[in-house]
Structure 1
Amino acid sequence: MSDNTPLFAILLPVHRPPNMLRIAVESVLAQIESSFELLIVCDGAPRETVACANAFAARDKRVKVFDFDKGERHGEAHRHAALADTTARFVAHIGDDDIWFPDHLTELSALLDDVDFGNLLQAELLTDGTIEVHVGDLSEPQTRDHMLLDTWNFFGPSVAGYRMAAYRKLARGWSPAPEDLWSDLHMWRKFLERDDLTFGTRFSVQGIKFPAHGRETMGVGEREAENARAVQMFTAPKRRRDFQARAFQALFHARQTILNDQLNRVATALDGINASLAPLKPAQGLQTPTPGGCAHQSQLPPGSIANTIVKVQSSADSLTEGVDALRANAEAAWRELDTIKSSPLWTLSWPLRRLENFLKNR
């Protein structure tokens, strides 16, 4: 990219005091991929926040500040306005309370070279030190359908990215979300509902999300101190690698839980197959036809031959229906299993399955 054409436009919306903003911006300026413009979108933010943003802009020409009055909902329309004149190829986002590792843009760029819209893995650091990673893969149609049809999302803006060309294809970009829908999911659906775009997830952990849930009683000063400690801790590459390893361990365990649920559904389908076999048993009191059966007709009570023929025909019809049901259940079970095994996340969980089998066979 030329000096005048940044690779990334990075949206950083902010509406509160600048305590955590400073830390988030520093993590952006420390990116190994340095071809970017940082668009700090002040959504009715306090004057001290605007001043802090302007100080960064004075220090680094890649930083641009947009000072808006408070917008509707979370000021989503301001984000669209900030992107209006960008010439960047890609768009990334970061929350003012999150931090990136130095390789974030490098990894996101590798993803967006291949897809129009995607995400890196979102690793959330809970207040007790636990790491939580939500499972999903945008390359899988069932994941995209889940996001389109249900109120479900597995990543937020700080790990998302998209091509600016794809964004310009949308009928409407960032805009206020309905009251009952998250802003990010509202935006993601605009990409996901299109069949002319490509999607993917890159299994790379390149930052930390500090979820607001569980931190409701913390003041901005406390949260600033927490984020600052994290930055200091993860300055060392080894500490970052340790965090990434723990995040992948959390991902494996989360995925294993989901796989177990899916396999339980397969088992349920197989139980259905067994249940469908029950009606296929010969009707009680119905003699199984034998070669030369006609020689035994004289042993049947008068008038029973026609009844027997009807029963045999009925049994044959039931047998045909049962076989069809059996085949349908079997095909459904195998399709479910094929879906599980074709998932990239099945491959990711292979080390855990191998270890589990090893421990079982000791």
Structure 2
Amino acid sequence: MTRASVLIPIHDKETTLPLAVDTVLRQSVEDVEVLLIGDGVTDGVRRVAGNLVAADRRVRFLDFPKGPFHGERYRHDAIQAADSDAIFYLCDDDLLLPDHVADLLELLEDHDLAQCLNGYLTPAGEVRLFASDLSDPHVAALHLRDDLDYNAISITGTAHTRSAYERVSRWDTTPTGFWPDRWQFRKMLAPGFRAATSARMTALQFPTSSGGRDTWEPQARTDEIVPWHTLVTSPGAQDDIDRRVREGMLRQLIEDREELATLHASLASTREYFTVQLESKETYFGELVAALRAEPAALREELDTLRGHVDRLQEIRAAQEAKIEALRERLRARRG
């Protein structure tokens, strides 16, 4: 049986696709296959895919019409068609180092889901890392929370067993608000699954969403990846990437410490602001409480004054009524 099946979703990247496939076919584990998952491919991509199939029997092309979103549901069909129980993934504009499949196959002997040290390359050639260890239950739990936008899993560089996939729901159109890889792979981070992260970065990612690449023309994307393909296919490539990872870790650590220091200063300023506001509010409410406590006494004094006026008016009224009664007596006496 084929030791590893590498699934590559394809649509319109005809110039980078041959480079990605070439790095799969150069794996130190030779018994691999490549399944190109067409999602409404362009004529150019269909031609390139056909050439790749003709050039190497290990490459197969599944030509599907354009599906919803990124055609995720076709990945299920590809898994069903795969000859291996070890399912790997790669984007059509990313690259694998020679030992990628070997590293993750070793992890998959005792795990359901595995990934290489995850990160990406900036246009300047610097490594940026998604610091994560999927074997850590705390990290796995973070991926499962819907109230956090936390994800350290990419489609490139990730692999899982067929049996693990069959224990979760199949690839299908991703719900709004999620990336396909996070939506699918996090199912294999639930309790009862075993996940792991390799200590080496053996997959190189060049995400369109970073470094302004979303504005690049296809030729610019190709021009960026060609030198990296030359590196990946040259002796000592892994040592070079390991060095870049170490440098990237240090650079990222320094930047993270700077960011934390800035955040700490911002929190301190915010705390000071709210402390002043709280003290001001406490003073205000203290005065308000004192005024409310004093108000009943003032009301009682005013009420006593009003009662005095009422009593005086009643006395005056009684005196007037007495005078009127006296006049009535005089009138009655004269009439009699």
Same topology, TM > 0.5: yes
1:109 is aligned to 105
Q: Residue 259 and residue 197 in structure 1: after superposition, are their counterparts in 2 closer, same or farther (change >3 A)?
A: farther
Could you say which residue in structure 2 is the equivalent of 1:141? 137
Aligned alpha-carbon RMSD (Å): 2.3
Provide the residue aligned with 1:25 in structure 2: 21
C-alpha distance 13-178 of structure 1, shift in aligned 2 (>3 A): same
Could you list the runs of 5+ residues in structure 1 that have no partner in the other structure?
266-362
Q: Give per-residue Cα distances to partners, 1:313-359, cap 9 Å, x unaligned.
A: xxxxxxxxxxxxxxxxxxxxxxxxxxxxxxxxxxxxxxxxxxxxxxx
- Counterpart CA distance in 2 for 1:42 and 1:206 is 25
The 2-side partners of 1:236 and 1:115 are apart by 31
> What is the rounded CA distance, in whole Å, between the counterparts of 2:257 and 2:100 in structure 1?
29
Say which of 196, 201, 213 aligns to 1:215: 213
Tell me the residue number matched to 1:162: 160
Question: How many Å separate the matches in 1 of 2:254 and 2:219?
Answer: 38
AA at the equivalent of 2:52: F
Amino acid at match of 2:129: V
Contact 2:153/2:185 (CA < 8 Å) preserved in 1? no
Paired residue total: 259
Instruction: Specify which of 185, 190, 209 is matched with residue 182 of structure 2.
Output: 185
1:151 offset after TM fit, Å? 2.0
Q: 1:192 to 1:119 in 2, by over 3 A?
A: same
The unaligned stretches of length 5 or more in structure 2 are: 265-336
Q: 1:205 to 1:17 in 2, by over 3 A?
A: closer
1:86 is matched with 82
1:175 aligns with 2:152: no
- TM superposition shift of 1:144: 0.8
d(CA) in 1 for partners of 2:180, 2:29: 28
Shift of 1:9: 1.3
% identity of equivalent residues = 27
1:8 is matched with which residue? 4
> Structure 1 counterpart of 2:181, which letter?
D
Question: How far has the Cα of 1:85 moved from its partner?
Answer: 3.0
CA distance in 1: counterparts of 2:136 and 2:7, whole angstroms: 27
- Tell me the CA shift for residue 249 of structure 1: 3.3
Q: Could you say what secondary structure the match of 1:10 adopts?
A: strand
Q: Which residue of 1 aligns with 2:242?
A: 244
Q: SS of the residue aligned with 1:84? A: helix
Q: Is the 8 A contact 2:94 2:206 kept in 1?
A: yes
Alignment of structure 1 residues 223-234 onto 2, 5 Å: 223-234=221-232
Q: Distance in 2 between matches of 1:166 and 1:59?
A: 32
Shift of 1:253: 5.2
Q: Rg bigger for which structure?
A: 2
Work out the CA distance in 1 between the residues paired with 2:237 and 2:34: 27
Q: Per-residue deviation at 1:255?
A: 5.8
Deviation at 1:238, TM superposition (A): 3.1
Q: Secondary structure at the match of 1:177?
A: coil
| CA shift digits 1:257-311 (9 cap, x unpaired) | 77996xx99xxxxxxxxxxxxxxxxxxxxxxxxxxxxxxxxxxxxxxxxxxxxxx
Separation in 1, partners of 2:139, 2:189: 10
